[in-house]
Amino acid sequence: MDTIRYSAIAARSSKFWALLAGLAAIIAIGGLSAHHMETHGHVITGMNNQIVWGLPHVFAIFLIVAASGALNVASVASVFGKVEYKPLARLSALLALALLAGGLAVLVLDLGRPDRLLVAMTTYNFKSIFAWNIFLYTGFFVIVGIYMWWMMDYPMMKHSKKAGLAAFIWRLILTTGTGSIFGFLVARSAYDTAMLAPMFIIMSFAFGLAFYLLVLMAAYSWTDRPLGEYILNKLRNLLGVFVASVLYFVAVYHVTNLYATEHHAVEKFLLLEGGIYTQLFWIVQVGLGGLVPLALIYAPQFKNCQNSLIAACALVLMGGMAQVYVILVGGQAFPLEMFPGMEVSSTFFDGVVGEYVPSIWETLLGVAGVALSLLIVTVGVAILHFLPDSLADNVTQSK
């Protein structure tokens, strides 16, 4: 592993500039969409008084959660001492920072008044989990940035393990904070559980690794660099463990809610009678995003097949989006229980399931966040030495 050589990709090919131009165009369209929503107000979106967090928030939270998990490859190398993952650590840190930047960009632009971010960053209510997350997100940029610097700077490389440990602990805290945003909202029946914090952590492992694998395979395919089956199978098996763990935590989450009588109504809504939310849960999240990827990962006929791994990663990400959508939007759609045990009736939609259909503007803004993350990675690997020249089996198995 000590003989691993890193280099930047050649940024002169037409494929590189076409990719850069395509991503920039998507980001520009997303920016114009955000400007259109800010100018005309959220009345042009699908959001309303019942659903105040829409599709842009789904994209933002999905990217933020995936950012934490994308760092997992670097953590396995530095914290747990798995030397075969060490050549992958630099790209892992870069992708983590890029995904967090993309997610926060969508989050800020969906606020309606992005200029008020300065207020959020200078005025704190420490009883609010949202205030805590300001420190968690900025701390992640600082700690992972230092970790990446120390991995790439030879004189500082001896300290990289300490920075890796700090980054590992910080990302667990960050994802716990993101999950706790919902777990602390006791007024919402779908959110009121401490299970959301650990579930978000394991979700981050699966989503982040799926993102990482797709970026890794695309980078090595487009630059004609060797990528052996040994390291891919290591990551494939790790992804399978994470996907299975997500399914386990989802089952525990719903069983826990079913055990409490007060949550029976919301569980019936999400699992049986929720319409689009029930369909997304069973078909996309559990089926396409969980069971099918496990089959693609572990079925003997798909062993050493990169196409099946690509499909598995894409399905995991699709299932992850569905999972965040069901948690976030489905949790808001279920009516608030204003006075437990009492019937409430008014003209303000009390007891009525909220309706939400994402607008094209919200969709374009969310997709732009993903494009921004990919643009940062593309530029990063073109100007700095993030990618090993070779990840062939004879290189990665040298120790």
Taking the CA atoms of residue 112, residue 113, residue 114 and residue 116 in that order, the dihedral angle to the nearest 10 degrees is: -140
**Residue, of 225 and 186, whose pLDDT is higher:** 225
Residue 180: band (very low, low, confident or very high) from pLDDT cuts 50, 70, 90: confident
State the pLDDT at residue 127: 74
Lowest average pLDDT, out of 19-33, 252-266, 306-320, goes to 252-266
**Cα 352-329-111 angle, rounded to 5 deg:** 110
**Residue, of 111 and 177, whose pLDDT is higher:** 177
State the pLDDT at residue 265: 86
7: β partners: 387
CB within 8 Å of 46: residues ≥ 6 apart:
54, 55, 356, 357, 358, 359, 362
Residue 223: band (very low, low, confident or very high) from pLDDT cuts 50, 70, 90: confident
Q: Is 301 left (phi over 0), alpha (psi -120 to 50) or beta?
A: alpha
State the pLDDT at residue 339: 63
**Is the pLDDT score of 1 beyond 50?**
no
Please state, in angstroms and rounded to a whole number, the distance separating the CA atoms of residues 349 and 345: 8
Please state, in angstroms and rounded to a whole number, the distance separating the CA atoms of residues 164 and 145: 11
Q: What tokens were used for 170? A: 């910080």
Task: Count other Cβ atoms within 10 Å, centred on residue 1.
Answer: 15
User: What residue has token string 């099918």?
Assistant: 292
Q: Which among 231, 209, 396 is positioned nearest to 317, based on CA atoms?
A: 209
Mean pLDDT over residues 272-283, rounded? 94
Within the chain, residue ranges assigned H as helices are: 14-40, 55-70, 72-78, 89-109, 117-122, 129-152, 160-183, 196-222, 229-259, 264-268, 276-279, 292-298, 306-325, 331-333, 360-383, 393-396
For 201-220, write each residue's pLDDT tens digit.
999 999 999 999 999 999 99
For 131-144, write each residue's pLDDT tens digit.
788 889 999 999 99
Residue 14: band (very low, low, confident or very high) from pLDDT cuts 50, 70, 90: confident
Mean pLDDT over residues 29-47, rounded? 90
**Is the pLDDT score of 27 beyond 50?**
yes
For residue 386, CA distances in Å to 149, 247, 350 come to 11, 33, 54
**Is the pLDDT score of 320 beyond 90?**
yes
State the pLDDT at residue 350: 67
Query: Is the distance from CB of 288 to CB of 315 less than 8 angstroms?
Result: yes
Mean pLDDT over residues 145-164, rounded? 89
For 63-84, write each residue's pLDDT tens digit.
999 999 999 999 888 888 888 8
State the pLDDT at residue 349: 67
Give the chain's mean pLDDT.
Answer: 89
State the pLDDT at residue 98: 97
For 332-389, write each residue's pLDDT tens digit.
888 877 666 666 666 666 667 888 999 999 999 999 999 999 999 999 999 999 999 9
Query: Is the distance from CB of 192 to CB of 256 less than 8 angstroms?
Result: no
Architecture of domain 18-337+348-393: Up-down Bundle (1.20)
* 245: Cα separation from own chain's centroid: 16
State the pLDDT at residue 224: 87
Taking the CA atoms of residue 39, residue 43, residue 46 and residue 52 in that order, the dihedral angle to the nearest 10 degrees is: 90
Mean pLDDT over residues 286-313, rounded? 94
